[in-house]
Amino acid sequence: MGPVEEKGDTVSETPLAQEPDRPFWPVAAAFLAAGFGVLVLGVLTTVAEASADVKDWLAFSTSVGPLSGKTLISVGAWIVAWITLSLALRGRDISPTAVYWWTGVMVALGLLGTFPSFFEKFASD
C-alpha cells in the first residue's frame, strides 16, 4: 500500500517511486577478482612445495619465508584482476549465477591448494 494523500475530503493512494535496479557488474568484478586472488594463492602454495627454486624465489622476507611472496603476489593479482574486470565488465549485464559459480570454483580450487594434505603430494624430494 502506497503513501496516503489527502485531497480535500477524499483520500487517495499513490504508488511509491521505484528505484532503478543497481548494476551488478561492480559486484561481479569484486567477486571474480577475489576468487582469482584465492586461486593464485593456492597455485603458488602448491608450486612452491613442488619446486625448491620457486620456494626460494618467493621468500621476499627472510623472517617470513616463502609466505611473504605468496601473499604479496596473491594480493597483487587480486588488485590487478579487480581493476581489469571493473573496466572489462563496466556497463555489461552479467549473470549473477555465473559469477557466483565461477567465484565458488576458484575459491574451492584455491583453498584446496593451501591444504597440506594436497600440496605435500607435490613436494620435491
Residue 77: inside a domain: yes
Place of cell 584482476: 81
DSSP string, 58-109: T-SBTTTBHHHHHHHHHHHHHHHHHHHHHHHHTT----HHHHHHHHHHHHHH
pLDDT confidence of residue 40:
98
Range of the domain at 96: 23-122
pTM of the model: 0.80
Specify if 67 maps to a domain: yes
Q: How confident is the model at residue 31 (pLDDT cuts 50, 70, 90)?
A: very high
- Distance set, CA 62 to CA 65, 73, 102 (Å): 5, 16, 35
* pLDDT tens by residue, 35-73: 999 999 999 999 999 999 999 999 999 899 999 999 999
pLDDT digits (tens, 9 = 90+) for 68-116: 999 999 999 999 999 999 999 999 999 999 999 999 999 999 999 999 9
pLDDT value at residue 123: 85
Instruction: For residue 110, give the nearest of 78, 64, 68 by alpha carbon.
Output: 78
- Domains identified in the chain, total number: 1
Is 8 inside any structural domain?
A: no
In a domain, 4, yes or no: no
Answer whether 48's CB lies under 8 Å from 66's CB: yes
Is 45 contained in some domain? yes
Residue 39 lies in a domain: yes
